[in-house]
């Protein structure tokens, strides 16, 4: 499968150079540390710790997910990719890479977070798990698409969060709400609507992305 081959290429490149992984892990550590230091000895509420969790996730995503397209653009290999694959293949491959990256990052963040924040206790773990999975997929899709947009613009670093935030906002709001519900121990039944929203978001974003990517990719 061509898209899978593209993913393998990116993965091999990453393993060989280790550009992203090192800086990303440090970024996660730094972000969590900043939050810990800002809180100091104060006790924070559950809801607050739940919200901050997604803040860390958002900024880590902004740090790591643009690489997929920006590195190609900066090295001049965008043309090479255009010569060997169709736009759909390119997007699928990059999306797959970012999906893996998002899950890897967020699992690390979740583990670190639950270890370091006492108020981050999930009574309904299954609810959180579903929200986590659906949410990560949504973050990956939207972030990949926006990454392809900013790769073609200047001031990519600052532009990326500016463009991504409005698009990710409905997702983040729902995720924060679901996290709170998971902490409260709300049942699956009552959270059904929120989970459906996450699912809808994923479906809509993926459809829109595939349709629009051609226009971004081709000059």
Partner 1 sequence: MIWKIFLFVLLAFVSIAGITFPIVAQPAHWYEFPLIMGLGENAKIIFFHVPTAWLTVIAFFMSTVYSVKYLRNKDLVDDIKAHTSAQLGMVFCILATITGAVWAKFAWGSYWSWDPRQTSIFALLLIYGALFALRSAVEVEEKRAALSSVYSIIAFVTVPFFIFIMPRIMRGLHPGSADDTNAGTVVNFKMNGNMLLIFFLSLIGFTILYYWMWYVGYKSMLYKEKLNKQYH
Partner 2 sequence: MSKFELNAEKITKVFGRRLIFKDVDFACKENGIYGISGPNGSGKSTFLKIITGIISPTKGKLTHSFEGKIIEAEQLHNFVGYVAPYVILYDEFSAVENIHFFSKIRGITFTQEKFDFLFQHFGLFDRKDDLVKGYSSGMKQRLKFIFALIHSPKILFFDEPTSNLDNSGKEKVYQTVKEESRDNIVIIASNEDSDLALCSSVLELQNFKIEKR
Per CB under 8 A, residues contacting partner 2 are 1-2, 5-6, 8-9, 12-13, 16-17, 75-77, 79-80, 82-89, 93, 218-219
Minimum CB distance to partner 1 smaller for 29 or for 203: 203
**Tokens describing residue 217:** 């990719």
Between 112 and 159, CB nearer to partner 1: 159
Residue 37 binds partner 1, judged by CB under 8 A: no
Handedness of CA 69, 28, 165, 180 (dihedral sign): positive
Report if residue 184 touches partner 1, rule: CB under 8 A.
Answer: no
x/- binding map, residues 117-156, to partner 1, per CB under 8 A?
-------------------------x--xx--xx-xxxx-
Does 41 interact with partner 1 (rule: CB under 8 A)? Answer: no
Residue ranges in contact with partner 1 by CB under 8 A: 142, 145-146, 149-150, 152-155, 159, 162-163, 165-167, 169-170, 173-174, 177, 193-194, 197, 200-201, 204-205, 208-209, 212, 215-216, 219
């Amino acid at each position: 499968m061509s898209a899978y081959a593209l993913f393998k290429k990116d993965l091999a490149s990453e393993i060989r150079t280790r550009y992203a992984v090192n800086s990303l892990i440090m970024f996660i550590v730094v972000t969590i540390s900043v939050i810990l230091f800002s809180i100091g000895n104060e006790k924070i509420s559950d809801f607050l710790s739940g919200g901050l969790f997604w803040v860390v996730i958002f900024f880590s995503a902004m740090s790591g997910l643009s690489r997929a397209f920006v590195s190609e653009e900066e090295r001049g290999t965008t043309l090479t990719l255009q010569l060997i694959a169709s736009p759909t293949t390119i997007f699928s491959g990059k999306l797959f890479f970012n999906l893996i990256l998002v899950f890897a990052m967020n699992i690390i963040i979740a583990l670190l977070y639950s270890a370091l924040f006492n108020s981050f206790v999930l009574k309904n773990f299954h609810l959180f798990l579903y929200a986590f999975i659906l949410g990560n997929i949504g973050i990956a899709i939207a972030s990949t698409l926006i990454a392809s947009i900013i790769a073609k613009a200047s001031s990519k670093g600052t532009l990326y969060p500016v463009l991504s935030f409005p698009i990710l906002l409905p997702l983040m709001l729902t995720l924060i709400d679901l996290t709170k519900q998971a902490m409260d121990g709300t049942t699956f039944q009552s959270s059904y609507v929120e989970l459906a929203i996450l699912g809808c978001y994923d479906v809509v974003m993926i459809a829109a992305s595939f349709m629009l990517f051609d226009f971004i990719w081709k000059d």
